[in-house]
Amino acid sequence: MVKVIHEAEFGQVKECAAAVIDFSATWCGPCKMLAPILEKISEEMNGKIEFFKADVDENPNLARQFAIQSIPALIFLKSGEEVGREIGFKPEAAVKSALQRLFG
Partner 1 sequence: MNVGDAFKKIIIVRETASPWYTEEGVLIMSIYDFLLDRNSLEYQKSRARRGIPTGRTDCVKQNGRRNPMSRYDIAIIGTGPAGLEAALTAKARNKNILLIGSADLSAKVTKAHTIQNYLGLSNVSGREMQEAFLKQIESAGIKITDEQAKNIYAMGDYFVIQTGEIDSMVEAETLILATGLSQTKGLPGEDQFLGKGVSYCATCDAALFRGKKTAVIGYAPREENEADFLSELASEVLYFPQYAGEVRTAPTVKVIREKPVGILGDLSARTLETDGGEYEVDGIFILRDNIAPDKLVPGLELDAGHVKVTPQMETNIPGCFAAGDITGPPYQYIKAAGQGNVAALAAVNYLAAKRKE
Query: Is 37 a residue that touches partner 1 (CB under 8 A)?
Result: yes
CB 78 within 8 Å of CB 20: no
Give the nearer residue to partner 1 in terms of CB position, either 22 or 49. 22
Please, what is the end-to-end C-alpha distance for the chain in angstroms?
A: 20
DSSP bridge pairs for 72: none
Of 6, 40, 48, 101, the residue at the interface with partner 1 (CB under 8 A) is 40
Residue 81 carries which side chain, given as an amino acid letter? E
Q: What is the DSSP letter of 57?
A: T
Single out the segment in contact with partner 1 by CB under 8 A; choices: 10-18, 44-52, 74-82, 89-97: 89-97
Of 6, 55, 51, 66, which is closest to residue 28 (Cα–Cα)? Answer: 55
Give the nearer residue to partner 1 in terms of CB position, either 53 or 103. 53
31 is catalytic: yes
Give the nearer residue to partner 1 in terms of CB position, either 19 or 31. 31
| DSSP H or E run through 7 | none
Residues in touch with partner 1 (CB under 8 A): 4, 26-33, 35-37, 39-40, 43, 53, 55, 67, 69-70, 87-94
